[in-house]
Each structure stands twice: as structure tokens, then as C-alpha cells.
Amino acid sequence: MKILINDGIHPDGKLLLEEAGFELSMEKVPQDELAKELPAYDAVVIRSATKIRKDLIDQCPKLKVIARGGVGLDNIDVEYARSKDIAVINTPTASSQSVAELALAHMLTLSRSLHLSNSHMPHRGNSEFKTLKKAYSGGSELKGKTMGIIGFGSIGQTITQMGLALGMKVLPVDLKIDQATLQFNLYDQGRVGVFAEVYTVPMEELLEDSDYITLHVPFSGGKPILGGEEMAKMKKGVCIINTARGGAVDEAALLKGLESGQIGGAGLDVFENEPTPRQELLEHDRVSVSPHIGASTAEAQRNIGLELADQLISLLVD
């Protein structure tokens, strides 16, 4: 069987697929050429860069599996594919630790103005050390603050554990999950474990009480999850973190909130107009930015590759 690896896969995942006897094509096919090339393949492995829509699916009668490395499936017409008996798989837990750590990194950065310190110290630290020290001495601790978590799946539960470990109050919101039992292994090999029952809350409570709000839900267009109406209900000075999807936060409303002081800061890994984000956000003093790297760690990429390979082997090998 032939598999098109269109957006790459970790070498360990590639090795598993080769050992299982699959014929792999690792050369990326541009989006506008997929209709010509994909019909020759039994499965395709993609990330967010490749779109598999209804018209393309209709041209691929051999296709048995669409595999998405990562969490979101917004670039695939999932229900239509499944109606054609094509399996659609992804890796919802493989990058949870990496994405959660990045969200937390943005919180820590904003709480101590590290994005500004790291920008100014190389150029002014030698001559204006005391001035910079005074400018950035007004930070705050995360301990004792309240973190609102929109989306209480694998990533949301992972950052909940991090927040609780730091002494934060957590307010998770989820449309499907009412509660989760979280396990904390305090030492290597699980010699000491602590369990916590965490319950979700209404969105109104999250908006009104959170000092930090972090998003961990899929978004495929339509009305933003956090727009001007939601921001108006938030605690003044709240920080918003988006490592989920561009468009989940209304960027025009966010800029307005930043200028008014209603929003105290934002940590953004994803943007509405990728790969050309708004310059006003990139340059804003109270915005910490990164270039969509939530799952881009060595550990996450290996986990994704291995999980995809295991699922493909399970589905395609008799």
C-alpha cells in the first residue's frame, strides 16, 4: 500500500511504517497538484498546511485513511470523508504537554514582561540597566491568580495540572466534559501520586473571575470564541492566551481591549491571517508572540509520528 506523507513525519514514525511494508512518498505535493497525485495513494498524512476537501475526496477512490498529525481537523471535510468509508484520524494527546507548556510560558512572560526585557536588554542593558530594572520591576506571581481554561480536553487538563502545581485557582469550561480526575506524579516512576477532582464551570464565571484565560479548543471559522462581547465581561487587566487556532480570538476586539486597558496582555501563538499576522499585534508592548510553534518540540513530533504510524498500521494491515 502507498502512503503520501505530505507534511512530514518524525523518523521513528517513518521507520515503523516502512517496517510494516508500506511504500512511502515523502515529497510534498503542492495543494494545487493534489488532485492529480493523491488518487494513486491508499492513505495520506498531513498537518495543517494541506487541505482535504470534498472535491479532492471525490477524485480519490483508492483513499482509505486521512491522517492528521495534531489536534485540529478543520482542514479536512471529516463527515464527508467518513461517509465515503474513509477513516479520518488525528493525534489529540501527542502534543498536549508541548502546547500546554507554551501557553504557560506566555503567561509567565507576560507576568514578568520578559518579552520586553529580552528585547531591550541587549541594546540598552549596558547603558540603562537601572532604568530597565525600574521599568520591569512591577511584575506579578501566578500563584494565587485564577486561570480560566476554555476546552477541558487533553491540553486543557494538562495546563490545569500545571496551574494547580503553581498554586493557581483553575476554572475550566467545556461543552461536553463536566469533571476530570487528574493525576500528579510528584517523583519519578510514580512513587508518590496525588489525585484531584476538577469540575468545569459556566462560561460566565470564567469570564468574570479569571486573571488569565487560555484557549484549548478547535476552531473552524464563524463567530470567535472570545469577541468584544466576551471581553467586556472579563476582569479588567485580564491576559488572554491563544495557542489553539487563529480566529478563536477576535483580533480587532483584542487590540481595542489592549488599548483601553480592559485587556492587560495577550500571548499569541496563532493568528487570523497566518502567515502574515497583524503588525499591530506583533509590535504591541503587551503582546507576547510566537510563530505557531505549540506542537513544535522534538518530543511532541516523535509522539505524533509514532501515534500516526500505530493507527495507520492498525487500519491498513490485515
pLDDT tens for 67-77 read 999 888 989 99
The CB density around residue 276, as the number of other CB atoms within 10 Å, is 8
* Reported pTM: 0.90
Decide the pairing of beta strands 193-199 and 179-185.
antiparallel
Average pLDDT over residues 141-166: 97
Average pLDDT over residues 271-297: 96
Chain mean pLDDT for the chain: 95
Say whether pLDDT at 180 is over 90: yes
Alpha-carbon gap, residue 62 to 59, rounded angstroms: 9
Sign of the CA dihedral with 221 first, then 274, 271, and 105 last: positive
Alpha-carbon gap, residue 254 to 263, rounded angstroms: 7
Say whether pLDDT at 256 is over 90: yes
**Tens-place pLDDT, residues 181-198:** 998 877 666 666 789 999
Q: Return the active site residues.
A: 245, 274, 292
CA angle 115, 119, 121 (to 5 degrees): 115
Which one is predicted more confidently, 194 or 109? 109
- DSSP state, residue 64: -
Alpha-carbon gap, residue 318 to 294, rounded angstroms: 35
Confidence of residue 219 (pLDDT cuts 50, 70, 90): confident
Residue-level pLDDT at 189: 60
**Tens-place pLDDT, residues 260-273:** 999 999 999 999 99
Alpha-carbon gap, residue 150 to 146, rounded angstroms: 13
Residue-level pLDDT at 12: 97
Say whether pLDDT at 83 is over 90: yes
Looking at 61-113, list the stretches that DSSP marks H as alpha helix, in order from N- to C-terminal side: 78-83, 96-112
- DSSP state, residue 31: G
Say whether pLDDT at 254 is over 70: yes
Torsion of CA 64, 70, 76, 79, to 10 degrees: 70
Residue-level pLDDT at 191: 65
Alpha-carbon gap, residue 44 to 75, rounded angstroms: 13
Structural domains present in the chain = 2-92+298-316 (3.40.50.720), 96-289 (3.40.50.720)
Say whether pLDDT at 286 is over 80: yes
Average pLDDT over residues 222-233: 96
Residue-level pLDDT at 48: 85
